[in-house]
Structure 1
Amino acid sequence: MKNTCMRATALAAFSLLGANVCAQSNVTIYGVVDAATAYASNQGGNSNTYMRSGSLSASKIGFQGVEDLGGDLKALFLLESGFESDTGAQSSADSLFNRQAYVGLQSTAYGTLTAGRQYTPYYLLVGSLASSNVLTGATGAHPGDIDGLDTTVRISNSLSYSMPAWRGLQASAQYGFGEAADGNAVGSSFSAAVKYSTSPAEFALGYLKLKNGRNAASSMAMSGQAGWNSNASGSFGVSALNQGYISADSIEFIAASARYTMGRWMVGANASNVQYQAGSHSTFRDTAIFNTAGLISSYQLTPRWFLAAGYSDTFASHANGIADRARYRQLSFEQTYALSKRTAIYLIEARQLARGQTLGQNGDIVNAVASVGDSQNGTPSSNGGQTVVMVGLKHSF
């Protein structure tokens, strides 16, 4: 009887202790499972019907935590991993938390400081008003996500600071360490952005610079495989648009976005300038520039039906022996029906036309080919036209 009482007392104490720990830890598990059937009119010369993960929202699982340290200070962390819902595989085989992994401190008075693998202020503030946020990056991102306004750009080894929001104004800056011992900031990155919201309008302006690793670029050039250093702090989307320029010494992104909301209607515009700057080990000699202008609109037809459309026009520069510069025009649509607050079925469509010339993977001048959004970065068309249609189901938890 005595042992039974002791066991009961210990169990009660353990239960109370566990409840107290849970109350203080405040960890949230969240995620998205998104699967679609996709059709592409031309992938390397043939049409294709296939299953695709993360077409409306990336399939992922995340762990987010906040701890109150007292006063005005909180500790926070976020770990987020992408996966393929059609196969169950990790989105990145060599990275468990490939999407985000950071820890930081937050103060209402002084702002937020975080360290780890993170999105850029350029994407978080400017991209939040751009087409990929409204239409989804799969078919709505600017061709190949050439301007990094979707999630193809992430920065490892980075420190980010965000100021407290003040009268609708937000500002943030980030530095990614190249972690090279030569003191030349090899492979480093820098981003800064501001956003101003004053209902019903929003405006954002951002900057991002990614540096290649010259030491690694030199060794790759000697082996005939010059490209982007995998150890650089920043990564970006590679597509048929920019594959001839991935040996750049550095890449600069400048973008601006604006939105105006009128009841159920939203209209917006965005513009970007991207420069691939050549170095001594690059396979091209002249700075290559891509300018993009875009328009977006959405309409909340009913509480369940959401409609959106976008158009973008991307121009490459005359450089590196190219007389007929590449041009990419893309029209995108989305129709989403919410079955509940967490579950939706969707239909997305896009058509892209490409003309002119660009540089191919080996540095040769080639005809520009279509590559819709950022879902076709590895499967571009064999010619100047590509149509993509996807129908899918998304569930958030």
Structure 2
Amino acid sequence: MSSRPACAIQSALCVMACAAQPAFAQGSVTLYGNVDEAMVYANNQKGNSNVYMRNGNLYASKFGFKGSEPLSTDLKAIFDLQQGFDPGTGAQQSAGLAFNRYAFVGLQDTRAGTLTLGRQYTPYYLLAGTLGPVTYLTGATGAHPGDIDGFDTDIRANSSVTYTSPTISGFRGSVQYGFGGVAGSMKSGSMFSAAIRYDGGPLSIGAGYLRMNNTEYSGGFDPAASASFPHSELNNGYLSARNVQHAAALATYAVGNLLLGVNYSNVVYRPGGHSLFTDTAVFNTYGALASYRISTPFEISGGYSYTRASTANGIHDAARYQQISLRELYHLSKRTTLYTLQAYQHASGQTLGVKGAGDIIDALPIVGDSQNTTPSSTSNQFVAMFGIAISF
């Protein structure tokens, strides 16, 4: 038999085999990320001024892999894996976590919404918090003191399941539950979050709720619990709380090149039998911001926030924090940005130290969330940064 008939027979068999299989659209995988590094000046870090390098100020330094596979006209499978790193040293952002920022898999339907499972950000942050100061002022110097209300990307939920609705007439909502994994007590170590958002023309409004439950852990907030949140001098005395609750409402309004925003948050630390404090502690924060695009490459933003703690646990002069934040951007291209950041914070009053009730200390300023481990030794702190960020 000649080779030509043989090739014809093989071609026919291939066509028949392909025709017998259902037609699936091809999936896709995308590599993405940011590299961000800056020179920083802080006038007071535990009593000393400092000039140093810091990463992830405008955008978090990270890389990730995300992908999808169409399963039908409306339904597709999705996943996203994201790792933070320090370009100054090459180190992982969190040792021992391959994808510390998040890692989830799920299904997305254009009509029914999206269901995801894994380590994820909360609806409180994604739908509400993104309308706040971090988006327009950065988390490093623009987050409310110590990121007390979780408007930055500091709160994540392990072993969580999230449902997010499709957008209907400008509205979308989302709910999330994180499993604590404690045998015999489903509530212990668990978390719950819900949020709703409206986007219509120049106006955006978001409201969110978050509740993080501790376990019977008495050394603070159990690191094995589903959710984690930032620690600083603001809340060190309340880390042994039975649960921590966040509630927030935010709004922005755009007029041409000008965007205005207001935000409010309420953070509650509730004591339990294993807590080192006895009375419920509350932090209320009020904020306002403005962002203006002067020209195609240049934009500026500014904001003010006022945070006040409750008079509880023997404290009669409640801690108060006032912060002014500025951000200037010059876009060299769609992917490359030069930036400068400045922030000043003044603290007054008292709060609890790490020993809890009875350990009353002076409130110390902590600019944004860049100084959580390095508060000022006086009542004032100033931080300035100059950096470059590249997205890919």
Q: By how many angstroms is 1:378 displaced?
A: 1.0
Larger Rg: 2
The within-5 A match list for 1:136-155 is: 136-155=138-157
Q: By how many angstroms is 1:183 displaced?
A: 2.4
Structure 2 residue 122 is matched with structure 1 residue 129: no
Contact 2:286 2:305 in 1 (8 A): yes
1:246 to 235, 239, 262: 239
What does residue 372 of structure 2 align with? 377
What does residue 62 of structure 2 align with? 60
What does residue 223 of structure 2 align with? 230
Structure 2 residue 103 is matched with structure 1 residue 101: yes
Q: Could you tell me how far apart the structure 2 residues matched to 1:243 and 1:89 are?
A: 27
Q: By how many angstroms is 1:197 displaced?
A: 1.2
What does residue 192 of structure 2 align with? 190
Q: Could you tell me how far apart the structure 2 residues matched to 1:318 and 1:330 are?
A: 21
2:259 to 261, 266, 279: 266
2:354 to 356, 361, 365: 361
Contact 2:179 2:186 in 1 (8 A): no
Q: Could you tell me how far apart the structure 2 residues matched to 1:331 and 1:358 are?
A: 21
Instruction: Tell me the amino acid that sits aligned with residue 40 of structure 1.
Output: A
Unpaired runs of 5+ in structure 2?
8-13, 15-24
Q: Could you tell me how far apart the structure 2 residues matched to 1:183 and 1:57 are?
A: 38
Q: By how many angstroms is 1:184 displaced?
A: 4.2
1:207 to 184, 209, 225: 209
TM-score (norm 1): 0.92
Contact 1:295 1:310 in 2 (8 A): yes
What does residue 386 of structure 2 align with? 391
What does residue 91 of structure 1 align with? 93
What does residue 313 of structure 1 align with? 306
Q: By how many angstroms is 1:25 displaced?
A: 2.9
Unpaired runs of 5+ in structure 1?
7-12, 14-22
Which string of whole-angstrom CA distances, capped at 9 and with x for unpartnered residues, describes residues 229-288 of structure 1? Answer: 011000000011001100101000000000110000000100000000001111000010
What does residue 17 of structure 1 align with? none
Contact 1:299 1:306 in 2 (8 A): yes
Identity %: 53
What does residue 38 of structure 2 align with? 36
Q: Could you tell me how far apart the structure 2 residues matched to 1:85 and 1:210 are?
A: 32
Instruction: Tell me the amino acid that sits aligned with residue 365 of structure 2.
Output: A
TM-score (norm 2): 0.93
Which string of whole-angstrom CA distances, capped at 9 and with x for unpartnered residues, describes residues 350-383 of structure 1? Answer: 0000000000112210000000001111111112
State the Cα RMSD in Å.
Answer: 1.7
Q: Could you tell me how far apart the structure 1 residues matched to 2:27 and 2:42 are?
A: 46
Contact 2:129 2:151 in 1 (8 A): yes
Contact 1:368 1:383 in 2 (8 A): no
The within-5 A match list for 1:319-338 is: 319-338=312-331
Q: Could you tell me how far apart the structure 1 residues matched to 2:329 and 2:142 are?
A: 14
Q: Could you tell me how far apart the structure 1 residues matched to 2:310 and 2:194 are?
A: 25
Instruction: Tell me the amino acid that sits aligned with residue 313 of structure 1.
Output: Y
Q: Could you tell me how far apart the structure 2 residues matched to 1:184 and 1:280 are?
A: 18
Count of paired positions: 373
Which string of whole-angstrom CA distances, capped at 9 and with x for unpartnered residues, describes residues 33-92 of structure 1? Answer: 000000111100000100000011100001000100113110000000000111110000
Structure 2 residue 300 is matched with structure 1 residue 298: no
The within-5 A match list for 1:338-353 is: 338-353=331-346
Q: Could you tell me how far apart the structure 2 residues matched to 1:119 and 1:53 are?
A: 21
Instruction: Tell me the amino acid that sits aligned with residue 394 of structure 1.
Output: A
Q: Could you tell me how far apart the structure 1 residues matched to 2:109 and 2:35 are?
A: 33
Q: Could you tell me how far apart the structure 1 residues matched to 2:80 and 2:385 are?
A: 30
